[in-house]
Amino acid sequence: MEGMAGQKSSLVWVVNISAFLLVLLWTIPTLGLFVSSFRDRDQISTSGWWQSFSGSEQTGFVRTGTADDQVERDGLYVIEGTALEGTQELTAWGTGARSPAEFAPGDTVEIDPGVNVTVAGDGTYQMTSAQPFEMTRGERIFTTTLSPPSFTIDNYNRVLTAGGLGRAFMNTMTVTIPATVIPILIAAFAAYALAWMQFPGRALLTACVVGLLVVPLQVALIPLLRLHNELGIGKGYLGIWLAHTGFGLPLAVYLLRNYMVGLPREVIESARVDGASEFQIFRRIILPLSFPALASFAIFQFLWVWNDLLVATVFLGNTREQLVMTGLLRELMGSRGGEWEILATSAFISIAVPLLVFFAMQKYLVRGLLAGSVKGG
Amino acid sequence: MELLWLAVSTIVIGVFGCVAWFWGSNWLLDRIYPPRGAKAGDNIRRAGQIRPWLFLGPAILFLSMYLVYPVLDSFWRSLFNSNGSSFVGLDNYIWLMGDAKFRESMVNNMMWLLVVPALSTVFGLIAAQLTDRIKWGNIGKSLIFMPMAISFVGAGVIWKFIYEYRASGETQIGLLNWIVTQFGGEPQIWLTLPVWNNLLLMIVLVWIQTGFAMVILSAALRGIPEETIEAAILDGASPLQVFFKIKVPQIMGTIAVVWTTITIVVLKVFDIVFVMTNGQWGTQVLANLMYDWMFRGTPDYGRGSAIAIVLMILVTPIMVWNIYNARKEVR
């Protein structure tokens, strides 16, 4: 990038490998969730997701037939049967609980004097003895089998058709869209006034907006909840839209003002000279030119509102019908800690939308970040 | 379906309401002070004085109602007892100083403040430097940046899968314990292990914030004048020297911005602790402590508000610094 003269090729390799490792480290956690959401509960609780590509090992045991099942063949007494169900593949077997995987498939082992056992790869066993068998309980055969890697979309079917996620998804949507659209309009007008209109107190107001950027919204929870109750708004969508609008405004005004200040002065001045009113200038010139900044704020606000837990918990309530997706996830983590497959799938669905928005609109997000931060220093 | 209609109609009403306000008030202003006729000059001047406040009106209303008023109200409320019935002066703050959980939260918040901004900035700088130099850098950047779009709660679920514990001897399904056992260690119940659990929660936030640091720092690194770097290379500086002695000093301002921005996020950290440990096992932080006092059991608004005000005081230096910088830029 910097036109380093004479870069050694070994250095290039080091850079590539380190970058790869770093990216891997940052991607693995999300990948883990993604893979887990396609595994059923037994798989999740018996092996790590990173082992799911190599198939999973299972252990079990069966009892052989008893003396009643023996047949005489070529002078030997034989008990036959199969130790496996279905089409599993045997990787190891044994005859004692202490060493359940002692032998390889096909091995022949003498378990008692004159009594031989062999288990083949397909699971069929054969126990032979020169003397007639007399036992009434079968011998135990321990098996270790390998099932091929398997993934399922059952979790998604289950979660999407029941379990409240659909409802939570709708709730989140209902909260997010108005809470993203409304602040933009209010902020755009304010930002224009701060950037291009002359009036006393302009610098002070701008400073206030910068200051309000960092107010922890925890401070606002109780006073606002009371205010809403007194105004008769109470808990509900209206309250949460208003709250998100209020909390998002400082960033919106700040971002948009910074962007609008940078618009070419000549365009605006000449429009004024031509007799355009401020309102016309705003609508015909400023708004269209500010599209990139509007887009970056919209993404910020969308991600922030979609991902928010605290404001939703406080302003919307916690009953099943009111939960947004983050609230639902939290509940799943608490009450159904054991249902990993539901948790993983719900979590992935809840992060899928922001991830889509992120990858589709990354350009604007980066631009907004740069406008919001670098200029501050 | 009803919900969807509600949302759509809100957007329509909200947007329409805003437009109606801006358009209507402007129209009214032009009616009262028409920019023509005998007193056109006077009227234009007067309308020009009023118009900014029409544009700013809704924003000022929202900002004062949803941010300024709550700060003042919280402060006022923090001087009262649990249900706000009697004035107790600074008792709530004095009580905080002696409360073990509050001290634990303060210590933890300080640890978060030291570790998270530092690690995020360092990793962000490394990631920026590495990805700027390789062909697939943009894909790499996207992937490191990606956690930024994931909610703290989602991140909590993701990392719960990594920290999960199974008894020794069973197959470990948590990646961390699996790695530990592969190296012959004993699996641990990480989230209940004091001090370590704090660090593991911090890692979740570092994972989220590194992308942010990387994006900003990468832009700053590219803005460094080429000549300074070329001169250093001609003078025989090694790549590491170029990085630490030429590049880093030139982006110190940006590093400070990244650092303070992450510091603010850290001070307010709530969701991660809330969903992963809920402040148990020595992981309490201020925001979660406040939530406990305000919404769990019998609410104590006095103490809750006092904690909120402590948070507010902690962010104030950064607020002042930001305002100072912003004003410097305006001049």
Q: Is the same domain home to B224 and B273? A: yes
State whether residue B203 sits within 8 Å of chain A by CB. Answer: no
Q: Could you tell me which residues come within 8 angstroms of residue A374 by beta carbon, excluding any fewer than 6 positions away? A: B216, B219, B220, B254, B257
Q: Which residues of chain B have pLDDT under 70?
A: 1-3, 329-331
List the one residue out of B162, B157, B207 whose CA is nearest residue B187.
B162
Are residues B39 and B128 part of one domain? no
Q: Answer yes or no: do B159 and A303 touch at CB < 8 A.
A: no
* Structural domains of chain B, count: 2
Burial of B69 (0-12, 13-18, 19+ CB in 10 A): middle
Interface test with B, best of A218, A307, A370 (most B CBs within 10 A): A218
Shared-domain flag, residues B133 and B244: yes
Higher pLDDT, B170 or A243: A243
Name the strand (E) or helix (H) holding A333: helix A325-335
- List alpha helices for B146-241, DSSP H: 152-163, 175-182, 196-222, 226-234, 239-241
pLDDT at A6 over 70: no
Distance in Å from the first CA to the final CA of chain B? 52
Nearest CA in chain A to B21: A186
> Which pLDDT belongs to residue A279?
80
pLDDT interval class at A258 (50, 70, 90): confident
Whether B83 is in a domain gets the answer: no
Do B220 and A375 meet the contact criterion of CB atoms below 8 Å apart?
no
What's the confidence (pLDDT) of residue A337?
56
pTM, rounded to two decimals:
0.81
User: How sure is the predictor about A5, in pLDDT bands with cuts at 50, 70 and 90?
Assistant: very low
Q: Same domain, yes or no, for B60 and B101?
A: no
Pair (B22, B131) in one structural domain: no
So what's the pLDDT on residue B1? 63
B142 and chain A: CB distance < 8 Å anywhere?
Answer: yes
Proportion of chain A in helix, strand, coil states, percent, rounded to 5: 60, 15, 25
Do B228 and B279 lie in one domain? The reply is yes
- From B77, B107, B132, give the residue that closes a domain: B77
Res A1: pLDDT = 43
Domain that holds residue B11: 2-77
A27:B143 CB<8 A: yes
B30 with B113, same domain?
A: no
- Interface predicted TM-score (ipTM) of this complex, two decimals: 0.85
Q: How confident is the model at residue A7 (pLDDT cuts 50, 70, 90)?
A: low
| A61 pLDDT tier (thresholds 50, 70, 90) | confident
- Spatial CB neighbours of A348, under 8 Å, sequence gap ≥ 6: A33, A34, A37
Contacts of A164 in chain B (CB under 8 A): none
Establish if B309 belongs to a structural domain.
yes
Please provide residue A142's backbone torsions phi and psi, each rounded to the nearest 5 degrees: -90, 135
Listed in sequence order, the residues at least 6 apart from A198 whose beta carbon sits closer than 8 Å to its beta carbon are B48, B52
Of A146, A187, A181, A182, the residue nearest A52 (C-alpha): A146
Other beta carbons less than 10 A from residue B324's beta carbon: 12
The verdict on residue B87 lying in a domain is no
Rg (CA), chain A: 34
Instruction: Provide the pLDDT for residue B123.
Output: 92
CA angle A281-A287-A289, nearest 5°? 100
pLDDT tens for A190-211 read: 998 888 888 888 888 888 888 8
Q: What does the pLDDT read at residue B207?
A: 93
Side chain identity at residue A64, one-letter code: T
Burial of A307 (0-12, 13-18, 19+ CB in 10 A): buried
pLDDT band at A163 (very low <50, low <70, confident <90, very high): low
Nearest to A363 by CA among A271, A268, A295, A304: A295
Do B258 and B205 lie in a common domain? yes
Tell whether B234 and B289 lie within a shared domain: yes
Residue B82: inside a domain, yes or no?
A: no
Pick the last residue of a domain from B14, B46, B77: B77
pLDDT at A377: 30
- B100 and B69 in one domain? no
User: Tell me, what DSSP letter sits at residue A282?
Assistant: I
* A108 backbone dihedrals φ, ψ, rounded to 5°: -115, 130
Q: Do A237 and B142 touch (CB under 8 A)?
A: no
Fold designation for A157-376: MetI-like fold (1.10.3720)
For position B109, which CATH number holds?
Answer: 1.10.3720.10
| Phi, psi for residue A236 in degrees, rounded to 5 | 160, -175
- Cα–Cα distance between B160 and B156 in angstroms, integer? 6
The arithmetic mean of pLDDT across residues A338-344, rounded, is 78
Residue ranges covered by each domain of chain A = 56-147, 157-376
The partner residue sitting opposite B55, judged by closest CB among A19, A27, A189, is A189
Tell me, yes or no, whether B73 and B101 share the same domain: no
Which of B10, B67, B136, B229 would best serve as a mutation to test chain A binding (most A beta carbons within 10 A)?
B67
